[in-house]
Amino acid sequence: MLKNKEEIHLAYLAGNLIEKISRGEVLKSDENRIVCCNLGTEIAYSYALHIDKGPHDLTREISSQKPDYAVIYALFVDKKEHNVTRNGACVDPEWAFLYAESIDQRPYVETKESTSRIPETKMSYEILIERVNCITK
């Protein structure tokens, strides 16, 4: 149940935004970005990719609340590394390894510490990230 005027207003905006997106109308505004970010990581990521067509601090922060979306946000929206997405990926050792391999392409303390929590990702990180990086320098 909606509790206050702000929640009612956000619900109204979300309904309007979803309806307009489904009709193919693309709206870009701070208000719509906030609504989308309040709807969850997947919608925040989609807003950044399809409506903002680029990174924004709010969509990055919300998308990075799940390690998988932190990685895809870095790959497809930021198109480069960022501390927020790296920290989001490092919640899970396997996503941290994927971030290190696909985005950072070099060792970072955060990804090394995260991947060290599982023997398989620790070994893969040491071989593919640290050793290969030393050879290519």
- Range with the poorest average pLDDT among 77-86, 91-100, 126-135: 126-135
Find all residues with CB under 8 Å of 102, minimum gap 6, and list them.
Answer: 71, 75
pLDDT (tens digit per residue) in 45-54: 988 988 899 9
Neighbours of 95 (CB within 10 A): 23
More confident residue, 60 or 128: 60
Helices 30-38 & 5-22 angle (0-180, nearest 10): 100
**CB crowding 20-52: b at 16 or more within 10 Å, else e:** ebeeeeeeeeeebbbbbbebebebbbbbbbebb
CA separation for the pair 70, 87 (Å, rounded): 8
- Reference 111, options 101, 97, 130; nearest CA is 97
Predicted TM-score of the model (pTM): 0.80
pLDDT at 24 over 70: no
Mean predicted confidence (pLDDT) in 2-24: 69
Rounded Cα distance, 14 and 111, in Å: 36
